[in-house]
Structure formats: C-alpha cells, structure tokens
C-alpha cells in the first residue's frame, strides 16, 4: 500500500483519540429494526479497556493509565472464543465486553495475542454471558470478490450504540499491519473510524458470514473512504496456531530480500531463459537457513510452485495479483519453504526451514523488544528499538529527526541471536558527567572492546577495574568517566531522578548472564579480526586510552 505513513496506526484507533465524527447509518429507526430482527448483530460486542502503556523514553516507569474502547464479535460459543484486534487490548489492565442493548459489562480475559497480524482472542468466564440467544459468526472461507457488498458493524466514536456502515470491496493487496511487515488485506470504502477496530465486516448479515475484521483506515488528506479489514487467510493462520500450539508464534521470516527483474539487459546478464521470470536475491540474513541455501544474485523463479513475475507478484485470482511474500506469510514457524531458483544459468530446487522474524532492531513491544535500561554515572543506555524512537521523537517524526547512524541500524541484519544495538539515550545531568550532551547515539565500544548487547555492556562496566570508563560512540566520539566517582555518585543520581534501580530486570539473572557471555565471545571474535572492534575510529581512540591506563 502506498503511503503507509498516512495510515492511522493501531494504537490511535481507540475511542479516546481526536478524529472526525463516525459515519453513522442514516436512519436510526432502520438500524433499530435490523438489531431486533438480525441475530448476527447480537454477537457484535463493545470492548472497554483500561491500559497502561510502556514508556520507552523513561523505561524505569510506565505511562499514565488511560481508557479506550473498540469492537469484537463472538466466534465460537462452545469454546467461548471472542475475536478482536490486538491493538484494542494491547497493554490492557482490565477488559470488559458489553452485548448490544444490554447495560451489563462482563469481565473478559485475553487468551491469545497476535500483534503482527493485529488479532487477539478473548473469553468471558461467566456462564451467564453465553446464553442461548448468543450465536457465533462464521468467516467466509474465500476472500470476497471485488465490488462485493460489505457491512461494517461496531462501536465507533459519535455514539454508544451499535453502528453499521456499508460499502464494497475495492481492492485486495498487501497491507502494512504493523511496522514489522505487510500481510494480505482487503480495502473497502465503508466507513471505518476509531472504535470500529475489531468489529466484523459482514459479507451477509442475514447468514452471519464475515468477510474480515475491521482494523485500520487511511487518514491521508488526499484520500477518502479507504478502510482495511483482515481477511480469512490471515485470521485462519492466527487461529490455527492457537488451536495447534496454544499461542501465536508470529510471522515467519524467509531470510532473504529481493528486487524486481524487469530490465531486459539484467535478465540477459543473469541468463534467464526466454519466457521465464522471477526476482533477484539482493540480501541474506546471516543467521537464517536461507543464507545456507541461497546466494546473492540468485533468481527465484517459483515459490511453493507459484511462478513469480518480474514485478515480484504471483497470481492470486483471475486478473488479480499480489506480492509473492503472501505465499510465504501463510507458512508457520518450522515449516519448509520450497523455491525454484536460477543460479548461473542452472535451474535448481531449494528447500529450507522457516523461523521467526529476528530483527536486529526491535519493532513490536513484547514481540521482539521490551523496555530496558542501564544507568552508569548518569549515562542512560538502552537497546535501540522502534518504540524507543517513537517515544523520543514521536511516531510521525522519528524518521526525520533520528541520527543517520540510528536509521541505518534498522536495515542491518542480526549476526547472532543475542545481538543488540545499544544506544546512549540521554545524560542525566550531574557534575561527574559535565560537558556531555550526547543523546540517541550508538555505543560501539567500552574501554576498547566491542559492545554486543545491553547485558554485555553492563557486565563489562560492573567488572571494570581500570580508573576510567570510556564509552566509544558512533563517529569516533567517546565519553570518559571516573570509575570511582561513578560508583560513589550513581545512587544519588538515581534518587534525584526517581529511578528505582541502575538497571531493568531483564539485565538481572541467568538470562542476562548468558547474554553477557555471548557478548564476550563476540567481542573476542571482534578483537581477533572481525569487522567490529578496533577498525572503527572511536574504538581505536578508546582502545589506546585503555592501554595507557594499564
């Protein structure tokens, strides 16, 4: 989808956000008649949530408590399953649901969370909620055709009762669900507003068939009436993992990146046979199985038997095509991926196992990152993550305000499971760190040794017996602190800034020790000649200073 930045982000779809008024059905009497006569609407629920969001800018505390609302619907009365969007109940302290026309709010529990597909499952423990008049809605097994009628039911802003808007299926394409990637989505022109999230988009209200789950809208000033719903293939992928494994493992990573191959000269250079097409492998993730089976400049001709066109698309339906990544996104962690590739003019088959996405920089809270920090002499360190950048610079502005070195880290690949990009987030003012005004800069070394992750940095600082602590930053800059002064004054710095501890809980215990040990091994490899370490100007300067201390 073009202009992903113009999408209203999931966390902005709560009822407490300032947005345009919801588009309500024109005749309230007609809506009341439908509610009385159509059993399906009795299964559309309003969700009331009180949540406490993490504070990545000051990770030792959380954001103030706030309330929001959304929609949901009953999926299975026997198993007592209710479905909604993940962003509706993310970071929830309490969740209540209410049936239409009934003032009672029922306490519910989150049983499964899938942030990458923006889906979540709820249940209500009380038997009285699951009365005989409550019937499950059923998903349409196929993605609806273009121009198929759609009715979106939910509880958007502008009122407290159920609202219904109507439209058609406008497009089927890959849609950005979160910053972690794109999945198949259905574009509709029925109005979707904050509070609609998690509600059903009916294909046939009288039969109770649902085409998808409402989850997003485009808020660009140049567009109008563009909403998105989650189709059955994505919902089924999520539900099958819950049924088979009891939890959602997320979207798999293919382990490679490609570019289109539309230029005739490029096709001739790569020895592509007449009539064949595909895409070119341009990057491999070192820690994945794909790196063991693929090479740069390989041409991927087919994925799971589906021919790939030169524009990286595969056939979806008659006269409809989608990106080939859709085929891969329907795979589960541990599944095999079958490719047909062209390498130096020779066609061969390749098969390897798929694993979870492992970004070097964390993208989603509680999926691949958590608030983490370490304080030494007023220097506040944290792992680089998207939530951290959004907290520091704002969700809309971080791409333009963040340093180039930080932005570059977002496109780099992880070389080991424990690797993190550690940044100096801020300097808490004190006489021992006077003169240092750095913020949001990658930390490359400590006393000349490459920093591998947060636990590794904390362990090196804790175990340092040299008189000075030298933190090598990106661009050759470095910060020097007196070790004895750091030991003496850090408790006072923590106290005046109301910070309970010099480090977060994830930097304590056995897992932190294992991560620190992995970091030490990586640093040793760097010192032996890897691309990390003393090849950088900052590392050389700090390394020389460390030698002079000894």
Q: Is 29 assigned a catalytic role?
A: no
> Which CATH number applies to 252-356?
2.30.42.10
Please identify, in words, the CATH class of the domain defined by 4-231+238-245: mainly beta
Q: Which of 369, 381, 448 is nearest to 410 (CA)?
A: 369
Radius of gyration of the chain measured on its C-alpha atoms: 26
Q: Give the separation between CA 366 and CA 386, rounded to whole angstroms.
A: 12
- Residue of 43, 71, 108, 118 marked catalytic: 118
Model confidence pLDDT, tens digit, residues 353-394: 999 888 899 999 999 899 999 999 999 999 999 999 999 999
- pLDDT-based confidence at residue 101 (cuts at 50, 70, 90): confident
Residue that is written with structure tokens 């492992």 in the block: 358
Residue ranges matching CATH 2.30.42.10 in the chain: 252-356
Model confidence pLDDT, tens digit, residues 72-100: 999 999 999 999 999 999 999 999 999 99
Q: Give the separation between CA 512 and CA 401, rounded to whole angstroms.
A: 32
**Is a pLDDT exceeding 60 seen at residue 534?**
no
Q: Which residue has the higher pLDDT, 9 or 202?
A: 202
- Residue of 178, 197, 372, 504 marked catalytic: 197
Residue ranges matching CATH 3.20.190.20 in the chain: 374-549
- pLDDT-based confidence at residue 529 (cuts at 50, 70, 90): low
**Is a pLDDT exceeding 80 seen at residue 418?**
yes
pTM of the model: 0.85
Residue that is written with structure tokens 């590392």 in the block: 539
Give the CA count within 13 Å in the CB-facing half-sphere of 40: 21
Q: Is 87 assigned a catalytic role?
A: yes
Q: Where are the alpha helices (DSSP H) in 80-198?
A: 86-89
- What are the tokens at 192? 């979707």
- Residue of 69, 87, 108, 298 marked catalytic: 87
Residues whose CB is less than 8 angstroms from the CB of residue 224 and which lie 6 or more positions away in sequence, other chains included: none
Exposed e or buried b for every residue in 71-110, given b needs 16+ CB within 10 A? Answer: bbbbbebeebbbbbbbbbbbbbeebbbbbeeeeeebebeb
- Distances in Å between the Cα of 72 and the Cα atoms of 127, 210, 211, 212 are 19, 12, 14, 12
Residue that is written with structure tokens 């309500």 in the block: 24
**What percent of the chain shows pLDDT beyond 90?**
76
Residue ranges matching CATH 2.40.10.120 in the chain: 4-231+238-245
Answer for the pair 490, 441: CB distance below 8 angstroms, yes or no.
no
- CA 223, 221, 162 angle in degrees (round to 5)? 70
**Is a pLDDT exceeding 80 seen at residue 302?**
yes
Answer for the pair 545, 445: CB distance below 8 angstroms, yes or no.
no
Mean pLDDT of the chain: 88
Exposed e or buried b for every residue in 248-268, given b needs 16+ CB within 10 A? Answer: bebbbbbbbebebbeeeeebe
Q: Is 368 assigned a catalytic role?
A: no
Model confidence pLDDT, tens digit, residues 179-213: 778 999 999 999 899 999 999 999 999 999 999 99
Q: State residue 221's pLDDT score.
A: 63
Model confidence pLDDT, tens digit, residues 228-267: 999 999 999 999 999 999 999 999 999 999 999 999 999 9
Please identify, in words, the CATH class of the domain defined by 374-549: alpha beta
- pLDDT-based confidence at residue 350 (cuts at 50, 70, 90): very high
Q: Give the separation between CA 155 and CA 133, rounded to whole angstroms.
A: 21
């Amino acid at each position: 989808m073009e202009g992903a930045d113009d999408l209203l982000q999931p966390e902005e779809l709560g009822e407490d956000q300032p947005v345009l008024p919801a588009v309500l059905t024109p005749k309230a009497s007609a809506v009341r008649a439908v509610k009385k006569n159509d059993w399906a609407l009795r299964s559309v629920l309003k969700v009331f949530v009180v949540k406490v969001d993490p504070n990545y800018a000051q990770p030792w505390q959380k954001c103030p408590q706030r309330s929001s609302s959304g929609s949901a619907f009953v999926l299975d009365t026997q198993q007592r399953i209710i479905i909604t969007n993940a962003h509706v109940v993310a970071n929830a302290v309490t969740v209540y649901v209410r049936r239409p026309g009934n003032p009672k709010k029922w306490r519910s529990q989150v049983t499964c969370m899938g942030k990458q597909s923006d889906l979540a499952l709820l249940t209500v423990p009380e038997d009285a909620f699951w009365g005989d008049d409550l019937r499950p809605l059923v998903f349409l097994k196929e993605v609806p055709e273009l121009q198929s009628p759609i009715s979106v039911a939910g509880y958007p802003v502008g009122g407290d009762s159920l609202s219904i808007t109507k439209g058609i299926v406008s497009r089927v394409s890959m849609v950005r669900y979160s910053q972690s990637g794109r999945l198949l989505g259905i574009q509709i022109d029925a109005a979707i507003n904050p509070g609609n999230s998690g509600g059903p988009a009916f294909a046939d209200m009288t039969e109770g068939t649902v085409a998808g789950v409402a989850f997003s809208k485009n808020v660009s000033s140049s567009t109008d009436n563009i909403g998105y719903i989650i189709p059955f293939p994505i919902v089924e992928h999520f539900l099958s993992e819950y049924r088979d494994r009891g939890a959602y493992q997320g979207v798999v990573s293919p382990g490679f990146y490609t570019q289109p191959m539309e230029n005739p000269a490029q096709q001739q250079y790569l020895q592509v046979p007449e009539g064949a097409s595909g895409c070119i492998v341009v990057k491999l993730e070192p820690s994945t199985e794909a790196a063991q089976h693929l090479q740069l400049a390989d041409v991927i001709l087919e994925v799971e038997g589906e021919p790939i066109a030169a524009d990286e698309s595969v056939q979806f339906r008659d006269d409809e095509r989608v990106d080939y990544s859709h085929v891969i996104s329907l795979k589960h962690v541990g599944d095999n991926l079958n490719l047909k590739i062209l390498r130096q003019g020779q066609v061969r088959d390749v098969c390897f196992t798929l694993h979870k996405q492992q970004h070097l920089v964390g993208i989603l809270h509680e999926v691949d990152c958590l608030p983490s920090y370490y304080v030494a002499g007023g220097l506040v360190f944290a792992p680089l993550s998207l939530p951290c950048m959004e907290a520091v610079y704002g969700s809309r502005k971080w791409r333009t305000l963040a340093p180039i070195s930080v932005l570059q880290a977002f496109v780099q690949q992880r070389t080991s499971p424990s690797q993190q990009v550690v940044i100096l987030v801020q300097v808490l003012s004190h006489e021992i760190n006077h003169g240092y005004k750095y913020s949001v800069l990658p930390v490359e070394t400590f006393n000349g040794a490459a920093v591998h992750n947060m636990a590794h940095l904390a362990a090196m600082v804790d175990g340092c017996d040299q008189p000075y602590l030298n933190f090598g930053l990106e661009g050759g800059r470095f910060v020097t602190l007196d070790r004895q002064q750091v030991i003496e004054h850090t408790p006072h710095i923590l106290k005046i800034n109301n910070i309970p501890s010099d480090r977060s809980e994830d930097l304590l215990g056995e897992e932190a020790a294992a991560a620190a040990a992995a970091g030490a091994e990586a640093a040793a490899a760097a010192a032996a000649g890897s691309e990390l370490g003393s090849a950088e100007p900052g590392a050389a300067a700090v390394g020389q200073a460390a030698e002079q201390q000894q």
